[in-house]
Structure 1
């Protein structure tokens, strides 16, 4: 059986690291208020010379080095972002050029915080169908560019960053083989007004700012994430007790805790980086995955569940034997 195997991970963060106390110097908030409601303590914010593309490039280089392959080995780049460098061309093609790849399939996908899961399924499908043997799948964001810094309910929640994985087609055993076992995606556009940006090319002609109704988003997130994780585990034929690690979208510590409880998962099996990075949207899952791989928690052969929910609403999960 041909499966898409994760052979390398990488991540990148802007140089500027901002604590809650530093943020409170310019926003009407406090460290206590932010930590109690979100669990966030720090975030990284992009400087003038740092963009979604440059962060994606740095994360991709790290993933390629970890996989032990050259940029020229990549035949497909799928980049998930809601904050591209330009309206067009895609940020994926900018990363392609920075990596020195003359020709490969390269495009962006837009599913906000679920974008990386959407990109994983797209790349996995293309690898299984024989379109590519090796792919770079990237989640990268500079959400600080679309925040309203006078709205303390939203601007404290987000940060910038990027994460990337190398996926490689490998002939693996049907039972016990490495690779992506299953992915499951959902979307429900009826909830647009709960989490959105109030601008766009064909509407206002401006970038706009992020708007969110946090209480309603929280309620939907806990319900939808628990459901899609249960659904994806059943599709993969994996019991929750067999899961070694859950790598969730890092939106809010309270959402992570509530989702784990709903599934009966021990908190120590959930990778948490939201305290250090805040919500980096499409970058948060691959960024957290890279952290847990590099510190030795996630090892080859373990069962890992990736999950996320974002504006749209979109949500999804993937079950991987690492």
Structure 2
């Protein structure tokens, strides 16, 4: 199993430099998932910097009150020109921030023309590479991430979700290194990113499209057999989508992606024993659920 080193955790990791003035308010509940993806690490970088809004307003062409709104996700979606200047002051890597900013602009209904104009020429970044451990994790985990995301998303959305995951991980890499396990930290980003992009039923991600690509379905010799297998697969995947997060992840990686338990453990950043326990509990739930569905004429419990 591949392991990654972790940075020492400070005595009080929640402590932030004291600064004069009113405390920054929370992120607005109306902020979308794509906007939150870059806003949260940007706020964390600001809170850790020791800078005040008054100081930043002298460096960035934005009033103190507008900076406060920007960092809470209130008001109009910010132009890249402003975000670029803020990133320079807070030493935030430009490429991942720009990618996530564009995604959120699209989510906010902005046009491609607005995205281009809002940069005002400020789209160039100083040459930079992600941290070495970020690159090491990506080289090992990317294939697994793509296959997991592909169980929920189309190819284009799958690729975007994985690219967004590594961008968010880069922006928050200090937190990742101080977490108990960088693999677990990264996986939780992936799961949240995939969920945000997936179709949902009863607030759970839908796996139905994966039914069209099962080995059992491809091996059916007759159209009648294929239809029967498809119906069974769709019923099973609907039940899988109701599993708790870890059990869902394990079943997707084991049964849809075909990974061995050791690889699943490595991707999720959890002990091998936890993978096997999650799989046993999931299998028991699925057996009981599908069997009950058959006895009740196809209705869910």
TM range (shorter): under 0.3
Specify which structure has the bigger relative contact order, considering alpha-carbon pairs within 8 angstroms and separated by 6 or more residues.
1
Whose Rg is larger?
2
State the TM-score, normalized to the length of structure 2.
Answer: 0.26
Query: More strand by proportion, 1 or 2?
Result: 1
State the TM-score, normalized to the length of structure 1.
Answer: 0.25
Query: More helix by proportion, 1 or 2?
Result: 2
